Structure 1
Amino acid sequence: MSREALVQLALETMACSQKELAAHIGVSPAQISKWKKGEHMSADMEVKLRTAAGIGEMDPDFIRWAGSLAHAEKWEKVIKYMAGIAYECAETGYDTEPLSDPDGSLCASTCRVLDEMGVERPDGFPEELDLDYETADMDELSHLLESNPYSSLIGKIYDALNDVYGFYAAYIADLIYDEKLDLFDTAACDIEPCLISLAATKVDVEENFARKTRSFTHRTNREFEEWLNVVKEQAFRCGVPLKAELIDLVNQTHNELSHSAEAESLGSNASRIHPDIYMNELLVGMRVIHQVLPAIMKKLGIDQEFELAPSSLSA
């Protein structure tokens, strides 16, 4: 949650100055300025500012993105409806937890990704989407959502998120939560919260609508490669085998990820061993030879006179 956005909403709702807002909630004007710069805000102060802004539990960044509380409430209906449809249509064999929105962050994370992709914030709420989503005709509603550029892109991202999350659940989640790997205080913990960003890199979008897509994709892929390599390196050190090439999460299309996840959920990959396991076994064997061979040579009395000619290594 952006403290700056929350303070700004409170100022706008009360139509007051920072000094007046400070007096209203019982802090100094300087404290208001510090919050606007990102300083920590106590839970008690957050409640007071939310009350002053009249936004309840809704994320202030999402409200700022939508343009107003009323528009945010309408966009929330659209987002929850589309998330529900996508959740039910997942084909990976895994439930896409982010789409069920257990922590209420889906709206905020969605608008954050659109911002990072360079999508202009909506100018108001589209009238054609201001419907009763419980009673509207599904075919007509589906057409309207696909026709609007914002809801169309959101729908594509959620469909891709199904596949990205499926691969994560199948091959990565158990590693993240494996106490043996001790990844809880590493950059690998950023993988799951940012899966929606990775999903957004895998959809087709017009660059004139999402102007920063290329830089967003490059940055997101680079971050995920770094995070996944942390997992791979730690798994190797701990002797924990991988069931797939984790970097596929970045390199494969979301459809390819869906097929891999579905195969794992159906048990089709049970007999497959990832090449990393063979490499690990090879390195373990080399370490054993490195430790045992000198002792054998010494036992035979040839440790001082033995010399390996480079020519004997050639094919």
Structure 2
Amino acid sequence: MDSEALVKLALSHLQCSQKELATRLNVSPTQITKWKKGEHMSIAMQDRLKELADIGDLDPTFVLWSGSKENSLKWKKLIDYLAELAHEGSETGYCTRPLEDEMGMLCWDTFLALKEMGVSIPKTFPEELDIDYESLDDESHETFFGNDYTSLIYDIYSSLNSVYGFYAAYIYDLVYDDDLDAFDTPGSDIEACLLSLAACKIEVDESIAPNFRKFQHQTLSDYEKWIAIIKEKAFRAGVPLRAELLKIVYSSAEELDNEAEIESFGANTSRLHPDIYMNELLVGMRAIHQALPAIMKKLEIYDEFQIDESEFHID
């Protein structure tokens, strides 16, 4: 929970000074300053400030990004509707858990991705989207999905179906495998950032999201590192993989969708993909190729060394 956001919302809602807020909370004004700088806040104090700020169970940072509690409720209504719509259209064979939003993080995750892409969140909720979504007719449906925010969020959620399906099919068990001991590594960030990865796989109007390329590059770079950690852990633990995990980084949403669907139907009969550890083998061979000449020169046997081809057997 963002302590800085909670303090700002409480001060704004109560229209009071930091000193007055400190008195209400029975803490020192210095403590309020520390919270504004991001210092950890107890759950009990978080609940107290959420009560004072009158935001209910809404994420405080999401409320700040929305501009007001009223705006955040409207955005949440839109996000919940689009998530349900996208989830119903999933064909991977796996339940896209982030879209079910059991942890209440979908609104925050969505706005974080939009902001990192450079999307400008309006100070007030778009009037044309403040409608009854269940009563959309053909004409209003076209207008609704013609909106930049609606179409962008829906495309991200549709992509998330595919990305999460591949993750659930091939990666989830590895992240939480006790033998791999990967959960306490950066590899554990794989699940938390899947929505951002999904956003990297859609077509985006960069006039709306001017930072998209930078966002995409950083997200894909992070995933390359995280997946490499999981693959190394699996390699060292002797745990076989059923697919090339880096596909989640490089493959399109449609390709990931097909991979997940095949696995969910049990059509993937191979236990170990033949190319899974090829990269690790090639890296090791390159390292030997670079180091061996230096070692031989150090031992002063470089010029004398001859390969005995008779040891090579070709069947």
Q: TM-score, normalised by structure 1?
A: 0.87
2:278 and 2:54 map into 1 onto residues whose CA distance is 58
User: 2:6 matched to 1:6?
Assistant: yes
Q: What's 1:183 paired with?
A: 182
- Structure 2: 5+ residue stretches without partners: 283-304
AA at the equivalent of 1:243:
R
1:239 and 1:257 map into 2 onto residues whose CA distance is 25
AA at the equivalent of 1:152:
S
Q: What's 1:146 paired with?
A: 145
Q: What's 1:169 paired with?
A: 168
Q: What's 1:270 paired with?
A: 269
Kindly provide the CA deviation profile for residues 270-312 of structure 1, in whole angstroms up to 9, marking residues without a partner as x: 13631246769x99xxxxxxxxxxxxxxxxxxxxxxx984444
1:3 and 1:24 map into 2 onto residues whose CA distance is 16
Q: What's 2:105 paired with?
A: 105
**Aligned sequence identity (%):** 54
The alignment's C-alpha RMSD in Å is 2.1
Q: What's 1:15 paired with?
A: 15
Q: Write out aligned runs for 1:100-249 (5 A).
A: 100-134=100-134, 136-137=135-136, 139-140=138-139, 142-249=141-248
1:65 and 1:144 map into 2 onto residues whose CA distance is 25
Q: Would the aligned equivalents of 2:71 and 2:125 in 1 still touch at CA under 8 Å?
A: yes
Q: Would the aligned equivalents of 1:160 and 1:254 in 2 still touch at CA under 8 Å?
A: yes
AA at the equivalent of 1:67:
G
Q: Would the aligned equivalents of 1:241 and 1:276 in 2 still touch at CA under 8 Å?
A: no
- Structure 1: 5+ residue stretches without partners: 284-306
Indicate how the Cα distance of structure 1 residues 139 and 179 shifts in structure 2: closer, same or farther if over 3 A, else same. farther
Aligned-residue offset at 1:100: 0.3
Q: Write out aligned runs for 1:68-107 (5 A).
A: 68-107=68-107
2:3 and 2:144 map into 1 onto residues whose CA distance is 32
Q: What's 1:299 paired with?
A: none
Aligned-residue offset at 1:161: 0.2
Aligned-residue offset at 1:144: 3.3
1:30 and 1:132 map into 2 onto residues whose CA distance is 46
Work out the number of aligned pairs and report it.
290
AA at the equivalent of 1:178:
D
Q: Would the aligned equivalents of 1:96 and 1:162 in 2 still touch at CA under 8 Å?
A: yes
Q: Would the aligned equivalents of 2:179 and 2:237 in 1 still touch at CA under 8 Å?
A: yes
Q: Would the aligned equivalents of 1:129 and 1:144 in 2 still touch at CA under 8 Å?
A: no
2:189 and 2:268 map into 1 onto residues whose CA distance is 27
Q: What's 1:40 paired with?
A: 40
Q: What's 1:66 paired with?
A: 66
Q: Would the aligned equivalents of 2:79 and 2:107 in 1 still touch at CA under 8 Å?
A: yes
Q: Would the aligned equivalents of 1:175 and 1:231 in 2 still touch at CA under 8 Å?
A: yes
1:184 and 1:217 map into 2 onto residues whose CA distance is 24
AA at the equivalent of 2:246:
I
Q: What's 1:287 paired with?
A: none
Residue 71 of structure 2 aligns to a residue in which SS? helix
2:123 and 2:45 map into 1 onto residues whose CA distance is 31
1:144 and 1:272 map into 2 onto residues whose CA distance is 47
1:39 and 1:54 map into 2 onto residues whose CA distance is 22
AA at the equivalent of 1:267:
G
2:211 and 2:277 map into 1 onto residues whose CA distance is 41
Kindly provide the CA deviation profile for residues 55-75 of structure 1, in whole angstroms up to 9, marking residues without a partner as x: 011001111111110011011
1:273 and 1:59 map into 2 onto residues whose CA distance is 42
AA at the equivalent of 2:249:
V
Q: What's 2:286 paired with?
A: none
1:59 and 1:145 map into 2 onto residues whose CA distance is 26
Aligned-residue offset at 1:85: 0.7
AA at the equivalent of 2:35:
W
Aligned-residue offset at 1:131: 1.6
Aligned-residue offset at 1:140: 4.5
